[in-house]
Amino acid sequence: MSVIVVNVTAAKSGGALSILNQFLDGIEEYDNHNYFIVFVDPGFRQREIEGVRYVPVDTKGWRDRILWDKEGFKDWLKNNHVEPDLIISLQNTGVNYSCEVPQLIYYHQLLAIDPHRWNPFKRDEFILFCYKNFYPYFVKQYLTKNTHVVVQMSFIKDAFLKKFDIPEGHVHVVPPKMGLIDFNKMETGNKYDDGCMHFIYPAAGMVYKNHIVLLRALCLLKKENREYYDKIRLHLTLKKGECKKVDECIKLWGLEDVVELGGIIPFQELLACYKSMDALLFPSFVETVGLPLLEAAGCGMAIKAADLPYAHEVLQGYEGVSYVSYQDERAWAEAVKDVCLNRQRYIPMKPVRDTKGWKDFFELVDMLKLKR
């Protein structure tokens, strides 16, 4: 039985925690022949899985994580007489250990390899500037001749290879496996049957989600095409106060009558929105998979998406999408107007990739441990 050590101490919430839970699901489904030692945050709710041992490690801040990756990880293995056959990191960076032991990194931090530049003197861009300019150092630090990297999309692989000196054959694309959603069994009610055109953009309040370009587009319609503006309703999954710039622009430009800040929508309710609303608007300019794109396309919804590689890759072959320059508010105004003029549904998109998702990942695990 091979010993595989997994470093995932930073998975406390959000996408990182989802990846950890999916990884554990994968062990239960696909791997009953390896022994896993998993370093997790002390607050993680451990679940009993045969062949899995959890070791809580508290890395509260950057300094603690850096010290753990550099010295703590190696010291723990030495003190506990553990000789790993493979090291897995589910948190973008490797660890300081013998380069003879293969490492497999699940990379999902697009900010560090995206070409966009951030202004460190703007409050809402400072942390993005840090990810862009400092995080790559920690990624590069522990890349060895035996490091392999898993990414979710082909365009991320291209960006990773451009940023870091690693053989192309060491970067693997394993798209996430999407569960099938049966929209035919989902009731929608008549909540949005009010004679208006309902648009939705489900996104958090980060600056790169680009809400402002949609608000500017509404301003143009208000000024130049009032007959369309008056029947538009834009639903954002932000709470009032979550993004001050969005709040300020809505008030300054007098958009309160057409923009609804409804906060986070429960998943099943969000799926019902895709089925009953008129279009998904998606102007984000930093994105990995963009799950709302897949979900909306799965029910045949009209989609206006940023004209960027992630959207083209996710929506390849879907007839209901058109692409819009992410910075061009006039183009977004025209896109909204187009939905108003051509209200329709499309043939729902089915997954275009023959992928096994996490099964592919664990097949790679078995391949790499044999190189030890």
Question: Which residues lie across from 366 on neighbouring strands?
Answer: none
Range 176-181, long-range pairs (CB < 8 A, 24+ positions): 176/152, 176/289, 176/357, 177/355, 177/356, 177/357, 177/358, 178/291, 178/294, 178/298, 178/351, 181/271, 181/295, 181/298, 181/299
Asked if domains 2-177+355-369 and 183-341 share a fold, the reply is yes
CA-based nearest residue to 290, from 254, 321, 331:
321
Per CATH, the homologous superfamily of domain 183-341 is Glycogen Phosphorylase B; (3.40.50.2000)
Q: Which residue ranges make up each domain of the chain?
A: 2-177+355-369, 183-341
CA-based nearest residue to 143, from 73, 106, 93, 107:
93
Give the integer Cα–Cα distance in Å for 331 and 220. 10
The correct answer on CATH 1.10.357.10 for the domain covering 2-177+355-369 is no
CA-based nearest residue to 192, from 233, 164, 223:
233
pLDDT recorded at residue 354? 47
Q: Are 246 and 267 in contact (CB under 8 A)?
A: no
The edge-to-edge listing of strands for the beta sheet with 232-236 is: 259-261, 232-236, 197-201, 279-282, 302-306, 321-324
pLDDT recorded at residue 15? 78
pLDDT recorded at residue 291? 86
The pTM of the full predicted model, rounded to 2 decimals, is: 0.88
- pLDDT digit string (tens) for the chain, length 372 residues: 899 999 999 988 777 888 999 999 999 999 889 999 999 999 999 999 999 999 999 998 889 999 999 999 999 999 999 999 999 999 999 999 998 999 999 999 999 999 999 999 998 899 999 999 999 999 999 999 999 999 999 999 999 999 999 999 999 999 876 655 666 656 665 667 778 999 999 999 999 999 999 999 999 999 999 999 999 999 999 999 889 999 999 999 999 999 999 998 888 888 889 989 999 999 999 998 888 999 999 999 999 999 999 999 999 999 999 999 999 999 999 999 999 999 999 999 876 544 567 899 999 999 998 665
Give the amino acid at 366.
D
CA-based nearest residue to 232, from 95, 333, 89, 94:
333
Q: Which two tokens stand for residue 112?
A: 């560090």
The edge-to-edge listing of strands for the beta sheet with 103-106 is: 52-56, 34-40, 2-8, 86-89, 103-106, 147-151, 171-173
pLDDT recorded at residue 370? 65
pLDDT recorded at residue 169? 95
